[in-house]
Amino acid sequence: MSKNEEDIIVCRCEDITLGEIRKVIREGATTLDEVKRITRAGMGPCQGRTCRLLVAGEIANYLGKPVSEILQSSYRPPFKPVKMGDLAQIHEGNGDCCDCDSEEEGVNS
């Protein structure tokens, strides 16, 4: 493994390198959640949609297991980024969500 290979960015959102991922795996992190908690890989704006498979592949390669066994980490909402403007429209009660225009106490008051 060359120095240049270790410097490859795996998680662009959090600027995590392949070398950092491999280091925590060698130190005992053997699940996606463990690697994520230690390195923050997968915690950026894309929520792991870019780096998840790359990290899983590194773990699988190190453990000699298929990637499908490693990909059992859970996703938490949001499954994809939500634009702030979309959230603002819901708050403004433009009718695009259920009960936004409700007159219930505390809603739109």
- % of the chain residues with pLDDT over 70: 72
Could you give the CA distance from residue 55 to residue 48 in angstroms, rounded to a whole number?
9
- pLDDT greater at residue 105 or residue 70: 70
Question: Which class would CATH give 3-76?
Answer: mainly alpha
- Residue 74's pLDDT band (cuts 50, 70, 90): low
* Boundaries of every domain in the chain: 3-76, 77-109
Q: Indicate the pLDDT class of residue 104, thresholds 50, 70 and 90.
A: very low
Angle at 20 between CA 29 and CA 61, to 5 degrees: 55
